[in-house]
Structure 1
Amino acid sequence: MRSRRTRLSLVLLSLLCLTGCWDRVEINDTAFILTTAVDVEQDGKIRYSVLLPLPGSMGGASGGGGGTAGTKSYYIDSAVGTTFREAQAQLQRRMSRRMFFAHRRTLLIGEDYAKRGIRNAFDTTPRSPESRMTIYMIVTKGKAYKLLQATPQFERFPSEAIRELVKARNVIQINMKQVALSLSSPGSDAITVYMGVKESEKNSKSTKKSKEIEFLGYAQFRGDKMTGVFENAEADGLAWLKNMPVQSSVTLKIENRHTVTLNIFDSKSQIRAYTERGKLQFDIRTKAKAKATEVLGMYDLSQTGKVQKVEEAMNRYIEQAMRKAIRKMITNRTDSAQFGSYLWREHPGLWEKKYASRWPAGMKDAAFRIQVKSVLTETGLIYENVTKAKRTR
């Protein structure tokens, strides 16, 4: 009996050491930030915008569109400050719930802010344990907060449409960590996804035009300042130069009479840097596969000779796309494909002695040798148009 009382006393005393949930955070007291947008004002101050869901409007069905009340399921607000945290603090003063950033997946940077330099954004994000360096960094055409005001029809929140587009198979996935590495590595310049807003067509007089979010290409940086945009074929060429596993849809003319649309996939590129007779050269070898998705002009892909002509046209397109991307880099004095990094890794002595202090100016005098080998692996379920008349003897 005495032993039992002793044990019971020890158990009761141990309860005094338990502190309880003194620092608990209730979910009802939390405002989940889905995405943030950063813009620069005319006086140089920062406009900081946030998009967060409204818990009271999450239960019922809702269409596309944003707003702050009524049937809208999310809320957009912004504040202006000298720093990110100052603007964020101003927002917090008028929110009854504490802003929580761990669920944020995208960071939008306005074009004007990107042209002034994005390096400051890499101080405020890593300092907070809630912020993640794996969020996608996106530069917007025009103001970043306008992308938050888009009204996509397929998603409840604009942030979801942005995230799904940036994760698509035809887009290079670029997060903040990758941008930071490009900014701090020798012989490389950063790129980010570039997006804008496009109005859709009206279905009828009673419906309103929706503002859809559109992937436009990749923002080009020199140091931490935006200098241009890779679009269309340039964007495809950049992806192949960076050896990124993206899918591209291209339309080619064959024999000036037939039009073929191809889906290019499973591309792989190898780049080797070397010098020949004192001149810097880059050897680029690319392999790719493709499948035919549409053929206009009664072109029979069951014939080996015609398949070879399609492959030759695809080889020319891939090479031309890569050369367009290289010319864009030389024109804007950037190294978005990280050619300097290849040179630094393969010839560190030559890099330090001759090119480190003036790169990427050295790209202007370099020679780029491109070899492309593509294969048409699929023609679909048919070789030619099913309505083609059969020949009679």
Structure 2
Amino acid sequence: MSQLGRFILVLVVLFILAGCWNRVELNELWVTAATGVDMMDDGQWMMSYQIIVPSAIASGTGGGTGGSSQPASHVLSVKSKTYSQALSYSNLETSRRIYIAHNRVVFIGKRAAEKGMDRLIDFYLRNTEAREMVNMIVTDGLASDLLKKLLPPEKLQGAAMAELVNKESDILSVFPKVRVYDFVLSMNSDSKSIGVPVAELVGERDHQNEQEAESLNVFKKTSAPLKLALTKLGVFQNGKLKGFLDKDESLGVSYLSQKVNNTEISFPCSEQLGRKMYSSLIVNSAVVKLTPRKTSFHYTMQVGVKINGTLNESTCTKDISKTETIHDLEEQISKEVTRTINEGWAKLQELGVDATGFAERIHRRFPREWRTLENDWDQEFKKMKLDIRVDTRIQRPGLLQKHIGSET
């Protein structure tokens, strides 16, 4: 082909292939930071979208800190029969299209969680914009209520909640984060169970005192009366909410699920004035080894826990520089960890939910027995026993060798 022919061919291709034929401008979209899912009394779903207001963020006045400032986000709620229909119906109430690709967290109301997460999973895996790495949060009430509550000092509650969950998983490990992807894996596992963090509005609001203070022009907010916080762990089986675990029980499940990265352990050291005085250990590493054993006609899980940490606070009046004192503290810590694990295990057996994933371990260790055990695993799980052995090592006791109040 001659050079002229090549030039003409390039021109033809350039005219045919338009580069922006399906473009979407940013000012045509409502970017979503968080979503909420609720089941209403009439059987319909209510989808809530926390949409970002770019002008408020760009101006630096978002969050409602000033008298005339515009919030950094707006919550739009739509009722419909399906999730996708809610997205479509949102165009009847807003001039921009809801865009969920940047969604950071999905809040799930209690009634919706009890109904089942199969629709939510189907939506996130089928929709091309939805991303399965979104964090999941359950609430004991309505998800739409949580979307309207800010998390100071952040302007975007959805992004702040995602960071809160990530930070909690790295520092405390009481309520490890769960993404839609993790939930999908659990629904297709042998145990078909998982625990999801629960967020609630905590605190009490005194409307009368606020009105009196405002009438005197002396009222100025320094702390929100109601705060959004992680409080419990919601346990799911076959995609449906079965019950809740408190902080200690949830931490025990985190040990059994091998999800403890770092945490803090409060343990009793001595008795003073008729009450327990607690000390504190910062856990630098927690290694959990799980070994299933078959005993008679049932199963036992050997739980070996190795903890290394730093003594962060001590009420012990004994000399910590002595080896026997350190050994006593390590023994108390081991007892506290054992108690925490047993509490979480007892609650799971009460609910009959294998949120620890022990079914997978039994399946891998005893594949032949699992063929007959699979259909009756819920009952077998309630009969399963734990053999817990905790080995604690205090790596650094701190600079202070004796308690300040101890006698020399």
Asked whether the two chains share a fold, i.e. TM above 0.5, the reply is: yes
Check if 1:359 corresponds to 2:377.
Answer: yes
1:291 Cα deviation after fit: 1.6
Check if 1:375 corresponds to 2:393.
Answer: yes
RMSD: 2.4
2:271 to 230, 242, 256: 256
Tell me how far apart the structure 1 counterparts of residues 17 and 114 of structure 2 sit (CA, whole Å): 54
Residues 208-266 of structure 1 deviation map (CA, whole Å, 9 limit, x = unaligned): 65232211132111222111112121111111100113322232111324420222241
2:104–2:159: 8 Å Cα contact kept in structure 1? no
Residues 178-227 of structure 1 deviation map (CA, whole Å, 9 limit, x = unaligned): 11111111134121111112248999842265232211132111222111
- C-alpha change, 1:8 and 1:220, in structure 2 (3 Å) is closer
- C-alpha change, 1:377 and 1:87, in structure 2 (3 Å) is same
2:34–2:104: 8 Å Cα contact kept in structure 1? yes
Partner residue in 2 for 1:174: 178
1:70 Cα deviation after fit: 4.5
1:292–1:380: 8 Å Cα contact kept in structure 2? yes
Supply the AA of the counterpart residue of 2:268.
K
- C-alpha change, 1:65 and 1:378, in structure 2 (3 Å) is farther
Partner residue in 1 for 2:144: 145
1:336 Cα deviation after fit: 0.6
1:145 Cα deviation after fit: 1.2
Residues 51-79 of structure 1 deviation map (CA, whole Å, 9 limit, x = unaligned): 0111221223346459xx94211111101
Partner residue in 2 for 1:222: 237
Task: Tell me which stretches of 4 or more aligned residues in structure 1 moved more than 6 Å.
Answer: 200-204
1:64–1:152: 8 Å Cα contact kept in structure 2? no
| Correspondences of 1:231-380 after superposition (within 5 Å) | 231-257=246-272, 258-296=277-315, 298-353=317-372, 355-380=373-398
1:114 Cα deviation after fit: 0.7
Tell me how far apart the structure 2 counterparts of residues 6 and 351 of structure 1 sit (CA, whole Å): 70
| SS of 1:371 mapped into structure 2 | strand
- C-alpha change, 1:188 and 1:60, in structure 2 (3 Å) is same
Supply the AA of the counterpart residue of 1:207.
K
Residues 153-195 of structure 1 deviation map (CA, whole Å, 9 limit, x = unaligned): 2211111221111102224121111111111111341211111
Tell me how far apart the structure 2 counterparts of residues 345 and 384 of structure 1 sit (CA, whole Å): 50
Partner residue in 1 for 2:201: 197
- C-alpha change, 1:243 and 1:154, in structure 2 (3 Å) is same
Tell me how far apart the structure 2 counterparts of residues 176 and 320 of structure 1 sit (CA, whole Å): 31
Q: How many residues align?
A: 385
The sequence identity of aligned pairs, in percent, is: 22
| SS of 2:113 mapped into structure 1 | helix
Tell me how far apart the structure 1 counterparts of residues 267 and 286 of structure 2 sit (CA, whole Å): 18
Identify, as 1 or 2, the structure richer in helix. Answer: 2
Tell me how far apart the structure 2 counterparts of residues 299 and 229 of structure 1 sit (CA, whole Å): 40
- C-alpha change, 1:299 and 1:49, in structure 2 (3 Å) is farther
Tell me how far apart the structure 1 counterparts of residues 387 and 3 of structure 2 sit (CA, whole Å): 86
Tell me how far apart the structure 2 counterparts of residues 85 and 104 of structure 1 sit (CA, whole Å): 15
Supply the AA of the counterpart residue of 1:294.
E
| Correspondences of 1:131-142 after superposition (within 5 Å) | 131-142=130-141
Tell me how far apart the structure 2 counterparts of residues 150 and 99 of structure 1 sit (CA, whole Å): 20
Tell me how far apart the structure 1 counterparts of residues 57 and 229 of structure 2 sit (CA, whole Å): 26
Partner residue in 2 for 1:122: 121
Partner residue in 1 for 2:157: 158
Tell me how far apart the structure 1 counterparts of residues 271 and 96 of structure 2 sit (CA, whole Å): 63
- C-alpha change, 1:390 and 1:185, in structure 2 (3 Å) is closer
Supply the AA of the counterpart residue of 1:382.
L
| SS of 1:356 mapped into structure 2 | helix
Supply the AA of the counterpart residue of 1:231.
D
Deviates more, 1:250-259 or 1:166-175: 250-259
1:161–1:213: 8 Å Cα contact kept in structure 2? no
Tell me how far apart the structure 1 counterparts of residues 156 and 203 of structure 2 sit (CA, whole Å): 17
Supply the AA of the counterpart residue of 1:243.
Q
2:38–2:45: 8 Å Cα contact kept in structure 1? yes
- Structure 2 segments unaligned to the other structure (5+ residues): none
Tell me how far apart the structure 1 counterparts of residues 202 and 61 of structure 2 sit (CA, whole Å): 21
| SS of 1:103 mapped into structure 2 | coil
- C-alpha change, 1:154 and 1:381, in structure 2 (3 Å) is farther
Supply the AA of the counterpart residue of 1:286.
V
Check if 1:384 corresponds to 2:374.
Answer: no
| SS of 1:89 mapped into structure 2 | helix
Tell me how far apart the structure 1 counterparts of residues 203 and 76 of structure 2 sit (CA, whole Å): 23
Supply the AA of the counterpart residue of 2:29.
T
1:190–1:223: 8 Å Cα contact kept in structure 2? no
1:108–1:144: 8 Å Cα contact kept in structure 2? yes
Tell me how far apart the structure 2 counterparts of residues 160 and 351 of structure 1 sit (CA, whole Å): 42
- C-alpha change, 1:191 and 1:65, in structure 2 (3 Å) is farther
2:220 to 206, 211, 223: 206
